[in-house]
């Protein structure tokens, strides 16, 4: 029973991705007949994709966009949440409300007002405008996690920092940072994936100057004749950084999001 | 102060319990520049668009009618939107999507129970990864994969359905109203079903093992054990997971947009897809602003309603 369940589970979750990726390796003359599918593998379509300047450009743009937005969003959230907890401000509750609200309502509800705003301040269809939007989205996501984690820190730690009159920034880097580093890396990964996967903001906030990869994928599906082999290859490329990141870091970082260190700066914190 | 001295100082001071009672906090939050930066980000990213949207909902912003474009419209946009059938049609389709999500959640719970019965203590790391990969897959790619699998000419999914006689040779799954819903439900379940099953498995592992041992001695039936004993213990976590899935399903846009584009006809024209049509295709910005405002107000009510119960543990200040 265990073996059957395991096989079924792996087939259900992994087979669609595997088969889709394998389809991109099929030679062009085989794709019309599925009976011959998979007999010969051909990397030609990838060579074609990597020699396409537009695709490479959109890949590069999305990489920079994802890295920049996740970096700014996570670090701004970290500093904000840290300072709010340090000063025991009520504002943290409002920040939590705003973050929950952001993640409850559909993205399309934000996309259009932001489109009007960016159009007004001449940032529509610019890299900066898209980075700002994604930074705000990653900021709220990181705030949700960090508020949850900071709220579980023992109150006496703050009291000790108050007694010592430690500066707020020093307390962050010397006391909290060592225990938060894995969580921050995990949040950076999540933020990166979030921005990398986004289609909606790219659709609403760009036109021709900026072309994220997901938009390039969608545009390649339009036209008179669909090249499914190319589409499968583009989809595989879209999945590759996520799969690579997951296999490289998941064991160390992503699962640690829910298990922060129980020692903070030498003080055993019970929670 | 070095790290070692700081640590020993902390340990020493923690023992002096009486000190903590004498501390008086002097909130000086607004003096810190970071707070102002955060306020600025929130103001620019959330409040400015919100008020801009409120303003737009009272303006004529239909480019097909240049004579009135930019003029004050009063509540005309509101009355048009509420009287039009599109708003209610979109909500109807979104409710159908929520019903499908609920059924998916029940299926995930069954899989979670099966996993718990087989692997009560520890699950293989590979299975965790296998469950996470679909959830992290871009909805755009998932939608494209679905289009490929259910393509009427070369889709393996279509071939499979035709082989078992579930689909006629002259039919395509995505071209049938119910077929489109089945395809959307399948790909949505592929993406979120495994991770939900793993989450329910995890919730079940938090139940003390002696409860299951007693149930075994008392020879309580499995169905009764889970429905009457296990699920009531973990109902809060399950409710949170279900709420997350329902909200995520209601706000989803990419998969339906890529797979069906709201079609065939208006069969899968959910609320978000309809809003995208109003804005990007019909360019009725005033009416779209009303749509958005209605949903924002609804979301604020929902947040205020669920926040107190669902996030009590998080509220620590004040």
Tens-place pLDDT, residues A99-112: 887 887 777 777 87
User: B49, A93: Cβ pair inside 8 Å?
Assistant: no
Give the pLDDT confidence score for residue A264 in this predicted structure: 44
Asked if A228 reaches chain B (Cβ–Cβ under 8 Å), the answer is yes
Do residue A247 and residue B129 have CB atoms under 8 angstroms apart?
yes
Q: Is the pLDDT of residue A268 over 60?
A: no
pLDDT tens track for B34-54? 667 777 777 777 778 788 888
In chain A, which residue's Cα lies nearest the Cα of B271? A106
Mean pLDDT over each residue of chain B, to the nearest integer: 80
Residue with tokens 């923690």: B14
Q: Which residues of A touch B294 (CB under 8 A)?
A: none
Minimum mean pLDDT range among A10-14, A30-34, B13-17, B60-64: B13-17
Q: How far apart are CA A212 and CA A197, in angstroms?
A: 10
Domains of chain B: 85-317 (1.10.3720.10)
The whole-number pLDDT of residue B27 equals 45
Question: In angstroms, what separates the C-alpha of A21 from chain B's closest C-alpha?
Answer: 10
Tens-level pLDDT at each residue, chain B (318 residues): 555 565 555 555 544 443 444 434 444 555 667 667 777 777 777 778 788 888 888 888 777 777 878 788 888 888 888 888 888 888 889 899 999 999 999 999 999 999 999 988 778 778 888 888 888 888 888 988 898 888 888 788 888 888 888 888 888 888 898 899 999 999 999 999 999 999 999 889 888 888 888 888 888 888 888 888 888 888 888 888 898 888 888 888 888 888 888 878 888 888 888 888 887 788 888 888 888 888 888 877 777 776 655 555 444 443
Contact between chains at A168 and B275 (C-beta distance less than 8 A): no
Which chain B residue has the Cα nearest residue A250?
A: B129
- C-beta atoms of A5 and B27 within 8 A: no
Residue A128 contacts B, CB cutoff 8 Å = no
pLDDT at A167: 73
Q: How far is A127 from chain B (nearest CA, A)?
A: 16
The answer to whether the beta carbons of residues B189 and A12 sit under 8 Å apart is no
- A67-87 pLDDT, tens per residue? 999 999 999 898 888 888 877
Rg from Cα positions in chain A: 23
Q: How many CA atoms lie within 13 A of A27 on its CB side?
A: 7
Residue B19: predicted pLDDT = 42
Pick A117's closest partner by Cβ from B48, B133, B272. B48
Q: Is residue A262 predicted with pLDDT exceeding 60? A: no
Task: Please report the pLDDT score of residue B11 as a whole number.
Answer: 54
| Residue B5, token pair as written in the block | 């001295």
Please state, in angstroms and as integers, the Cα–Cα distance from residue B130 to each residue in A18, A193, B156, B202, following that order.
Answer: 12, 17, 22, 16
What ipTM did this prediction achieve? Answer: 0.80
């Amino acid at each position: 029973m265990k073996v059957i369940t395991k096989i079924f589970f792996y087939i259900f979750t992994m087979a669609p991705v595997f088969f889709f990726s394998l389809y991109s390796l099929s030679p062009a003359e085989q794709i019309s007949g599925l009976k011959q599918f998979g007999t010969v593998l051909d990397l030609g379509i990838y060579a074609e994709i990597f020699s396409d300047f537009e695709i490479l450009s959109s890949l590069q743009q999305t990489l920079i966009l994802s890295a920049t937005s996740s970096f700014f969003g996570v670090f701004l959230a970290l500093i904000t949440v840290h300072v709010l907890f340090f000063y025991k401000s009520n504002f943290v509750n409002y920040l939590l409300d705003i973050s929950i609200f952001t993640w409850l309502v559909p993205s399309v509800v934000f996309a259009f007002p932001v489109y009007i705003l960016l159009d007004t301040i001449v940032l529509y269809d610019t890299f900066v405008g898209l980075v700002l939007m994604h930074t705000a989205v990653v900021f709220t996501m990181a705030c949700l996690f960090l508020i949850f984690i900071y709220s579980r820190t023992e109150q006496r730690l703050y009291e000790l920092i108050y007694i010592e009159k430690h500066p707020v920034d020093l307390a962050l880097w010397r006391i909290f940072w060592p225990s938060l580093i894995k969580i921050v890396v995990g949040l950076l990964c999540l933020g990166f994936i979030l921005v990398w996967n986004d289609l909606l903001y790219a659709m609403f906030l760009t036109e021709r100057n900026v072309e994220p990869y997901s938009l390039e994928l969608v545009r390649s599906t339009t036209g008179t004749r669909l090249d499914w082999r190319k589409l499968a290859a583009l989809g595989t490329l879209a999945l590759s950084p996520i799969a690579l990141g997951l296999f490289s870091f998941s064991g160390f970082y992503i699962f640690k999001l829910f298990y922060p260190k129980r020692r903070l700066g030498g003080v055993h914190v019970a929670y | 102060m070095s790290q070692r001295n700081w640590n020993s100082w902390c340990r020493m001071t923690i023992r002096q319990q009486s000190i903590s009672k004498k501390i008086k906090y002097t909130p000086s939050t607004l003096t810190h520049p970071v707070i102002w930066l955060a306020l600025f980000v929130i103001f620019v990213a959330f409040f400015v668009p919100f008020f801009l949207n409120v303003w737009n909902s009272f303006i004529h912003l239909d480019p097909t009618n240049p004579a009135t474009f930019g003029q004050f419209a009063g509540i005309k946009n509101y009355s048009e939107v509420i009287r039009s059938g599109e708003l209610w049609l979109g909500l109807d389709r979104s409710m159908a999507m929520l019903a499908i999500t609920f059924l998916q959640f029940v299926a995930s719970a069954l899989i979670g129970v099966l996993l718990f019965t087989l692997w009560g203590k520890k699950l293989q790391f590979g299975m965790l990864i296998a469950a996470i990969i679909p959830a992290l897959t871009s909805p755009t790619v998932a939608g494209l994969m679905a289009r490929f699998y259910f393509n009427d000419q070369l889709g393996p999914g279509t071939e499979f359905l035709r082989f078992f006689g579930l689909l006629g040779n002259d039919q395509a799954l995505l071209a049938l109203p119910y077929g489109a819903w089945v395809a959307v439900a399948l790909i949505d379940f592929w993406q979120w079903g495994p991770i939900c099953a793993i989450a329910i498995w995890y919730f079940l592992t938090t139940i003390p093992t002696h409860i299951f041992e007693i149930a075994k001695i008392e020879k309580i039936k499995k169905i009764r054990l889970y429905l009457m004993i296990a699920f009531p213990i973990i109902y809060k976590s399950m409710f949170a997971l279900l709420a997350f899935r329902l909200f995520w399903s209601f706000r989803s846009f990419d998969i339906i947009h890529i797979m069906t584009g709201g079609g065939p006809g208006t069969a899968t024209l959910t609320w978000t897809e309809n809003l995208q049509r109003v804005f990007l295709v019909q360019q009725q910005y005033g009416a779209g602003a009303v749509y958005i405002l209605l949903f924002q107000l609804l979301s604020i009510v929902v947040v205020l309603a669920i926040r107190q119960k669902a996030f009590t543990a998080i509220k620590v200040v004040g």
